[in-house]
Each structure stands twice: as structure tokens, then as C-alpha cells.
């Protein structure tokens, strides 16, 4: 696909465009056939490839872990059980080290976040032309296979964590306690008049800090994975620039893929760890 009929800029734009379903300019609903058409669909458009791959990978995670649970044995464990036990122990240690309260939801949440994001990130190691080429055989114009390079996916997960954080903040501290944290910190005074002046200032500072949590959580994951995908696409272009550059591109691709294994794991771990920390903050009263 690289360079067959597309220029380098068109090739990059093609690989960074999602398969989008939404409302066309004439009022009909359908799949966009160009990046401009996808942009015109607006807020209510759905990225079908992001939805498909994220749900598929989430389903695979549930299937294999349920299979391990159904076939668990107290004797010598098989490969799948051994792997699942190792992952669960790793997550359990992470939760114990960062979460100081008691909530049975946090460990399963951390496990789901880590495995799901890792699997979505792992799709970045699939050669950039393979799946889009296969999709093209079936008349599918665009196919992005890494859901975490779509800000809709990363913001969706971040907002989910943020929603749980708000829920438990209010549940544990009460609405007054939650609002007290937003209005009576960091500036305090024994003088009621001065304290009243501090309230809007405190609220502005704490509200910005509160909103920054899901935004930074989403953008960190999206930015790192988007940059990694872009590098793979740029390397793929080198295969069509002659034998020497093609060979050099192969070496670069191998090196970047090996290094990228660390990135995709680290980004899943960071997202999970911050989610645990945010949940811990929601349970601690100040």
C-alpha cells in the first residue's frame, strides 16, 4: 500500500484516519469515505474501528482469564493459569502499595485497566499495512487498529476513572466534605472574612487540579501511542524509497518495535497506577 498510488502525505493521512460512521451533509447516515467527510460528521460520529478493536481485545481478555479461572487447579498449574496468577499477583502488589483504604473494586479495576490498555497498545506492533490492506479487500476505506491512538478511547477510559473518583469522594466524605476539600484548601484563615475571600480562590485552584487529572491521564496515553504509531508509519514509507533505505527502514523498525514493547507496557502501567492513586485520594479525607 505504501507508495502504490498515494504520496507520502496521503499515505500518512490515510493511516491516521478512523473508519467513521455518522451523519453526512445531506442528512443521511453512513460511513465516511474521506478524512474531510469524517470531520464534517461532528461530535456524534462513531469511530467504528476503535470500537471494534477495543471491544474485541476486551473480549479476549475476559475469555482467557475466565478460561483460566474455570480450569484452575491446586496442583501444577498450566501455562495460562501460571500467567494469570503472575499478572494478578503483580496487580495485587501494586494496589497494596498505592491504595491505603479498603475497596474490593479497586484491584479488579486495576487489572482490567492494565490488561485492556496493554492489549490495545500491543496492536501497535502489527505491521501498519497488514490489517488496512486486508480491510481494503472488503471495501473498507480506513482501519486504525490501535484504539489508544484515538483520543476518544483514552478520554473515555479517563472519564470512567474520573467518574468513579467523584462517586467515591462523595460517598466516603459526603457532599459537604467533598465541597469542603474544593473550597477550604490550600489557603485557610481563622478570620471568617478572610476565609470567605479564600473560598473562590481555593475553588478555582482545586477545580483546575481536579479537571486536570482525567485530561492528563487521557492525553499522556494518547500522545505516547500516537507518536509511536507515527514513527512506524514513517518507517514504512522508507520501504518504497529504494533498496538501501528499505533495508535501513527494516533495521529501524525492528529496533523501534523492541523499544516500543517497553513503551506499551509502561503506558499501561502508568495509567493503572494513576487510577489507583486517584481512587486512594477519593477515599482519604483531608
Provide the annotated active-site residues. 216, 220, 224
Residues 55 and 24: their CA atoms lie apart, in Å, by 26
Helices (H) and strands (E) in the chain, counts: 9, 3
Task: Specify burial of residue 129 (Cβ count, 10 A radius: 0-12, 13-18, 19+).
Answer: middle
Nearest to 274 by CA among 211, 206, 223, 218: 218
Asked if 192 contacts 208 with a C-beta cutoff of 8 angstroms, the reply is no
Contacts 24+ apart (CB under 8 A), 64-73: 65/115
Beta-carbon contacts of residue 88 (< 8 Å; ≥ 6 apart): 111
Residues 196 and 183: their CA atoms lie apart, in Å, by 9
Q: Classify 284 in phi/psi space as left (phi over 0), alpha (psi -120 to 50) or beta.
A: beta
Asked if 38 contacts 45 with a C-beta cutoff of 8 angstroms, the reply is yes
Asked if 142 contacts 17 with a C-beta cutoff of 8 angstroms, the reply is yes
Amino acid at each position: 500500500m505504501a507508495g502504490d498510488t498515494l504520496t507520502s502525505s496521503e499515505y500518512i493521512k490515510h493511516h491516521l484516519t478512523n473508519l467513521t460512521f455518522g451523519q453526512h451533509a445531506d442528512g443521511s447516515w453512513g460511513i465516511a469515505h474521506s478524512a474531510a467527510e469524517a470531520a464534517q460528521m461532528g461530535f456524534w460520529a462513531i469511530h467504528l474501528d476503535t470500537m471494534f478493536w477495543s471491544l474485541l481485545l476486551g473480549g479476549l481478555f475476559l475469555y482467557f482469564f475466565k478460561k483460566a479461572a474455570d480450569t484452575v487447579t491446586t496442583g501444577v498449574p498450566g501455562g495460562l493459569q501460571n500467567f494469570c496468577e503472575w499478572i494478578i499477583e503483580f496487580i495485587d502488589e501494586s494496589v497494596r502499595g498505592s491504595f491505603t483504604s479498603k475497596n474490593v473494586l479497586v484491584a479488579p479495576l486495576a487489572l482490567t485497566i492494565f490488561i485492556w490498555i496493554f492489549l490495545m497498545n500491543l496492536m501497535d506492533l502489527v505491521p501498519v499495512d497488514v490489517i488496512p490492506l486486508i480491510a481494503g479487500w472488503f471495501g473498507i476505506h480506513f482501519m486504525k487498529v490501535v484504539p489508544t491512538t484515538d483520543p476518544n478511547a483514552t478520554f473515555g477510559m479517563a472519564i470512567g476513572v474520573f467518574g468513579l473518583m467523584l462517586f467515591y469522594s462523595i460517598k466516603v466524605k459526603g457532599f459537604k466534605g467533598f465541597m469542603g476539600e474544593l473550597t477550604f484548601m490550600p489557603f485557610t484563615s481563622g478570620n471568617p472574612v478572610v476565609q470567605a475571600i479564600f473560598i473562590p480562590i481555593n475553588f478555582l485552584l482545586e477545580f483546575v487540579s481536579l479537571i486536570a487529572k482525567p485530561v492528563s491521564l487521557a492525553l499522556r496515553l494518547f500522545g505516547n501511542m500516537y507518536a509511536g504509531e507515527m514513527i512506524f508509519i514513517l518507517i514504512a514509507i522508507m520501504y518504497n524509497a529504494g533498496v538501501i533505505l528499505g533495508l535501513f527502514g527494516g533495521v529501524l523498525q525492528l529496533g523501534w518495535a523492541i523499544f516500543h514493547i517497553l513503551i506499551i507496557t509502561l503506558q499501561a502501567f502508568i495509567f493503572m497506577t494513576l487510577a489507583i492513586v486517584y481512587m486512594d485520594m477519593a477515599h482519604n479525607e483531608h
